[in-house]
Structures are given as structure tokens and as C-alpha cells.
Amino acid sequence: MNVKNLKRHSQFATLICVLVSLKPLTDEMKKILTIIISCFAFSLVTSAQTMVTKVNKKQKTTINKLVTSESHESLTFKEIEFDFGKIPQGKPVTHDFEFVNTGNKPLALDKVQASCGCTTPVWNKDTVAVGATAIIKVGYNAANEGPFTKPVTITYNGDQTRQIIIKGEVWKTPVTSAPVNTSLNALKTEQ
């Protein structure tokens, strides 16, 4: 609502207050008051709809800018998520995420950062030429039992970011390689 509309609305409110304060209200005055209040309400609704339309247009413009910037992405991954499936506890695993520089200038990976210490990314710090392919190797130390999902954030060309994800489930391995044979232990102790 702009200042002009605000002044106009306050003038309507003042007029309504004056009419209400007049005593006694005749039927004619009640009709006039009803018409004025209806006009006031209509103008409020109209200005509110205009404001909503303006806000929606701004939101559409912002969304279009985001979609356009995504469509001109210069770092294109073959896959952005990898599932290791079930892996035994204590066995580290790795996966190579391959990407291509699809932009129109060389790009540099400034930082590749995992969300925790159990995930370790390794990458080449050299610039990647236009059309060239490179790899980010992501390792996971499967020390803790249970499902995991670990994001890795890639910062490149100064301020642009992308995210890749590794996931899977670590199953607990047995403490011993085979169950203890009590009969065999009894024979060993007898001799």
C-alpha cells in the first residue's frame, strides 16, 4: 500500500467516524454510511489484490533468475549421490565422483569439505579446462554401525557451490572369526 492509498483510507475512516458520531442516525444516514463503508472496504480489497499481484511478479522474476543460473551451471556431475549399500564395520570405502567443466571458462575447485571427519574428499587443485573431466574421490571410514548419509560441499570459482552425497549402511562385524568351540577347548586343557 503506498502513501496516497494510506491517506485516502484515513480520510474515509475520518468521515465514517464523523457520521457515526452524529445523533440520531436516520435511515437515510444509515444508508449513506453503509455505502461509504462498502466503498472503503472495496478500495482496501482492490489495493491488497494489486499488492499481491506485484509480489507474485517479483517472486516469479526471482525464480526465473534462479532457474536460469542453474541452467548455465559450469560444474556438471555424472552423479551427485552414491549409495555404498551395506558395508562391513571397520572397512573404509571410496567412490570417485566424475564431473565435466561445461562452462565457457576454466574452473578451479577452491574447497571440497565433508560434513564430518569420517568422510575424506581428495581432489586435484589444478584448474579444469573447458570441456575437461576431473574426479573428486570421497572416502568413508565405516567405524560406526548403522545407516549414514554424508554431504560433501564443493566451492569453486570463488563463490559457487555444489553438493554431492554418499550414503549406505554399516553392519557390525563379528568380534571373532568363528564361534568358540567349547569341546575343542576342553580337549586342549586335558592334555
Reference 79, options 170, 162, 141; nearest CA is 162
CATH code assigned at 148: 2.60.40.10
Residues 61, 181: Cα–Cα separation, whole Å: 73
Q: How many domains does one find in the chain? A: 2
**180: in domain:** no
Reported as a single tens digit per residue, the pLDDT across 11-65 is 666 666 665 665 666 777 777 777 877 777 777 666 666 665 665 565 555 544 4
148: number of Cβ within 10 Å: 18
Which band of pLDDT confidence, cut at 50, 70 and 90, is reported for residue 176? Answer: low
Residue 70 scores a pLDDT above 70: no
Contact criterion met (CB below 8 Å) for 93 and 84: yes
Same domain for 82 and 156?
yes
**121: in domain:** yes
Which band of pLDDT confidence, cut at 50, 70 and 90, is reported for residue 3? Answer: very low
Encoded amino acid at 20, one letter: V
**pTM value?**
0.55
HSE, side-chain direction, 13 A CA sphere, residue 127: 8
Task: For residue 111, give its domain range.
Answer: 75-171
